[in-house]
Structure 1
């Protein structure tokens, strides 16, 4: 089995090397490089074959959120945030910039292992505590009128976007709207196609903030 190639970016050498030791104990991983900041991470991903970039948020020269954006846009590497910071602003910006996951450093190593494998397989992984913060952030704003161009979407698509923004699952949305899960999935696919977004968490942010990427 070909190993998953991982880059570690953290300006704390103790944490960086410690994480390298932990990940290296798993046979399916190969830590190909450790770097001190986001700029070094980006440069390496542009010139080498890297599957997953584990990025801290606060780093010199280029932080993890900025690095996520450029790595997502300019390479095939999938960025995964691993940090001590669970500030709403970091979470939202990292996801908008293309992060495939957001985990805290105090996460159990097995959970980090599963997250890396999940992201490598094309999934988006959000730790429960991070997802709860994100949902809470969105719920505080759910009474606001959406800022999006509603003319782009059908009434049913807007209904589904509103429910996604409230943190509801496809199954719950389907029951609430009396449609099948397959139909709900088809609507979400249509929404993603119209917005150029990649997953449902980005739909929630887009619905609340009316933004895609850097657009305000």
Structure 2
């Protein structure tokens, strides 16, 4: 059985060590190091094999958002944000910088475990509360009941816009295929086209792009 190697970065030693104990109880999960700032997290990922870097946001020397950018561009580790802060600016900055997920610390340990597993296998994760935080900043719905988008709809086909809308609602490929009556393979092709047109990297960024108009 494969073992997911995890780095924990948090300046709160109680949270850091507690999370280490919890994650090490799960089969196939190993916390290989714990550090208390983003600089140490980056240095460790540069010199050791790490699959998932679980990062707090507010840390000394280098915060989690800054560390995410460095780790995602300079190492093979996949950054996953775990924080008590749900400020939408942190969310956008973290996703811009390559975060593969964004979780709150009050999340149940089993869900954190599952999120790590999903990110390890190439998915992105974002809790409903995070998406809700972003959605709350949207303008009021128009008379037709549709969300007002700031994106340039002329860049996309009608089908691509449908897929972006469903991704923003948190749908995975299977539910999207059932909703639109097209195959999952076709969905994947449309998503690849959307990523190419926007220069984005993964579906969570598509959701943010659709909801906010851009990642800037």
Band of TM-score, shorter chain: 0.7 to 0.9
Report the equivalent of 1:202. 205
Q: Which runs of 5+ in 2 are unaligned?
A: 142-146
Output aligned runs, 1:25-40, within 5 Å.
25-40=25-40
Following the alignment from structure 2 to structure 1, what is the Cα–Cα distance between the partners of residues 124 and 210? 19
Output aligned runs, 1:4-43, within 5 Å.
4-43=4-43
- Given the two structures, how large is their TM-score scaled by the length of structure 1? 0.83
**Native 8 Å contact 1:115 1:125 kept in 2:** yes
Aligned residues: 208
Deviations 1:87-119 (A, max 9, x none): 111112111211111111111111111111111
Q: Which runs of 5+ in 1 are unaligned?
A: none
Following the alignment from structure 1 to structure 2, what is the Cα–Cα distance between the partners of residues 158 and 118? 25
RMSD: 2.6
Report the equivalent of 1:86. 86
**Native 8 Å contact 1:164 1:203 kept in 2:** no
Relative to structure 1, the CA distance from residue 137 to residue 199 in structure 2 (aligned partners, 3 Å threshold; closer, same or farther) is: farther
Deviations 1:128-180 (A, max 9, x none): 2223223333466953533x5x66x34326633762575363646874xx662
How far apart are 1:210 and its partner, in Å?
5.2
Relative to structure 1, the CA distance from residue 93 to residue 193 in structure 2 (aligned partners, 3 Å threshold; closer, same or farther) is: same
Report the equivalent of 2:194. 191
Following the alignment from structure 1 to structure 2, what is the Cα–Cα distance between the partners of residues 102 and 34? 19
How far apart are 1:70 and its partner, in Å?
1.1
Following the alignment from structure 1 to structure 2, what is the Cα–Cα distance between the partners of residues 168 and 111? 16
